[in-house]
Amino acid sequence: MLFRISSHDLPRIQMKLQTVVAKINIRTKTSTKRIAELILKDSQTIPPMVPRDTGDLESTGRVEGTPQGHAVVYGGKAGSSGKFVDYAEFVHDDLRDRKYKRPGSGPKFVETHVLRRFDEMKTVMSADLQQFLNEEF
């Protein structure tokens, strides 16, 4: 015995699902941007902070969009001097004992704050998605 189930509403349902998925992507990217901006600020104000000798490295700090959301990025053209900073990763990952000019500076000045805010990230994103679902459905 062969059964065929069809719905004349199927194209409308598919369109609605595509719209919902697109809106979820927008909400998620908005959440990741907000959190990345907090992490960037943390990396400049809460130890371990981005080292500041000339200010070039710190001036390159920014939040950039990625296919997955947003990222905190250091490196590139320095705002204060116009010099190209290509040493951000090295400074971030350099675990050798070192005296920085700026007190509170140190390695892992982004990673530390990402790990510190990890639970908050999950909470914020879950709350944003729950709010979206409550609004949509």
| pLDDT score of 5 more than 80 | no
3-state secondary structure labels for all residues of the chain: CCCCCCCCCHHHHHHHHHHHHHHHHHHHHHHHHHHHHHHHHHHHHCCCECCCCCCHHHHCCEEEEECCEEEEECCEECCCCCCEECCHHHHHHCCCCCCCCCCCECCCCCHHHHHHCHHHHHHHHHHHHHHHHHHHC
The pLDDT assigned to 49 comes to 97
Band of pLDDT at residue 7, cut at 50, 70 and 90:
confident
pLDDT in tens, 43-102: 999 999 999 989 999 999 999 999 989 999 999 999 878 999 999 999 999 999 988 999
Band of pLDDT at residue 111, cut at 50, 70 and 90:
very high
